[in-house]
Structure 1
Amino acid sequence: MRDLLLLAFIAASLLATLRYPYIGLLLWGWFTLATPQQSVYFASQIPLNVVIAAVTFASFFFHGEIRRARLETVSVFLLLFMTWLGVSHMMSLDQSLSAEPTERFIKVLIFVFACMMVTTDKLRLHAMLWLLALVMGFYGAKGAVYTIVKLGGGLYMGQAETILEDNNHIGIALAASLPLFLYLQGQARHGLVKRGLQAVFVMSIIAILGTHSRGAFVSLVVFGGVMWLYSRHKVKIAIAVAILSIPTVMLLPQEWTDRMETIADAGEDQSFQGRVDAWVINWKLALEHPVTGAGLRTSYEEHVARQVEMFREPRAAHSIYFEVLGGAGFVGLFFYLGMIGAAWLKAFGAQMKYRHAERDRWRSDFGKHAQISLVTFCFGALSVSMEMWEGYLIVIALISVLGKISPVQTREKNPLVRARQDRERARFRARYVRSEDKAAAAR
Structure 2
Amino acid sequence: MRDILVTLIVFGSLPLILREPAVGVLMWVWISVMNPHTQGWGYAQTFPFAYVIAVATLLSLFVARGPKGLPLLPCTWVLLAFIAWMNVTTVFALFPASAYAQWNKVMKIMLMSLVTMMAIRSRRDVHRLIWVLVVSLGYYGVKGGIFTVRSGGTERVWGPEGSFIGDNNAIALALIMTIPLMYYLHQNSARRWLRHALAGAMLLSALAALGSYSRGGLLAIAAMVLFMWIKSGRKLVLGSIVSLTVPLLLVFMPQRWASRMDSIGDYQADESAQGRINAWHMAYNLARDRLFGGGFEIAEPSTFLQYAPNPADVHAAHSIYFQVLGEHGFIGLGLYLLLGVLTWRTAAAIARQGAGRAEWRWAVSLATMIQASLIGFAVGGAFLSLVYYDVPYYLLAALAAIRVLMRGERPLRRPLLATRRAAKT
TM-score, normalised relative to structure 2: 0.92
1:236 positional shift:
4.1
Matched, 1:302 2:304: no
| 1:59 aligned partner | 60
Over the residues paired in the alignment, what is the CA RMSD in angstroms? 2.3
What amino acid does structure 2 have at the position aligned with 1:144?
G
Is residue 174–residue 204 contact of structure 1 (8 Å, CA) maintained in 2? yes
1:434 positional shift:
12
Distance 2:132 2:17 in 1: 16
C-alpha change, 1:67 and 1:394, in structure 2 (3 Å) is: closer
Q: Any residues of structure 2 matched to 1:252-267 within 5 Å, and which?
A: 252-267=253-268
Q: How many residues matched? A: 417
Distance 1:294 1:363 in 2: 40
Which runs of no fewer than 5 residues in structure 2 stay unpaired? none
1:52 positional shift:
1.3
Is residue 171–residue 211 contact of structure 1 (8 Å, CA) maintained in 2? yes
Is residue 177–residue 373 contact of structure 1 (8 Å, CA) maintained in 2? yes
Is residue 152–residue 210 contact of structure 1 (8 Å, CA) maintained in 2? yes
Q: Any residues of structure 2 matched to 1:152-171 within 5 Å, and which?
A: 152-171=153-172
Is residue 65–residue 118 contact of structure 1 (8 Å, CA) maintained in 2? no
Distance 2:30 2:411 in 1: 29
Q: Any residues of structure 2 matched to 1:27-106 within 5 Å, and which?
A: 27-40=27-40, 41-65=42-66, 67-106=68-107
Is residue 207–residue 249 contact of structure 2 (8 Å, CA) maintained in 1? no
1:203 positional shift:
0.8
Is residue 143–residue 207 contact of structure 1 (8 Å, CA) maintained in 2? yes
| 1:401 aligned partner | 401
Which runs of no fewer than 5 residues in structure 1 stay unpaired? 408-423
- Aligned partner of residue 306 in structure 2, secondary structure: coil
- Aligned partner of residue 360 in structure 1, secondary structure: helix
Is residue 147–residue 156 contact of structure 1 (8 Å, CA) maintained in 2? yes
Distance 2:251 2:68 in 1: 58
Percent identity, aligned pairs only, is: 28
Matched, 1:274 2:275: yes
What amino acid does structure 2 have at the position aligned with 1:316?
A
Distance 1:260 1:432 in 2: 47
What amino acid does structure 2 have at the position aligned with 1:23?
V
What amino acid does structure 2 have at the position aligned with 1:266?
Y
Distance 2:333 2:273 in 1: 23
Is residue 93–residue 294 contact of structure 2 (8 Å, CA) maintained in 1? yes
| 1:338 aligned partner | 338
1:44 positional shift:
3.7
| 2:19 aligned partner | 19
- Aligned partner of residue 198 in structure 1, secondary structure: helix
Matched, 1:190 2:191: yes
What amino acid does structure 1 have at the position aligned with 2:296?
L
Higher mean Cα deviation, 128-137 or 97-106? 97-106
Matched, 1:361 2:358: no
Question: What do residues 59-96 of structure 1 show as CA deviations (whole Å, max 9, x unaligned)?
Answer: 11111356344332111111111111111111001111
C-alpha change, 1:29 and 1:238, in structure 2 (3 Å) is: closer
Q: Any residues of structure 2 matched to 1:202-241 within 5 Å, and which?
A: 202-241=203-242
1:288 positional shift:
0.8
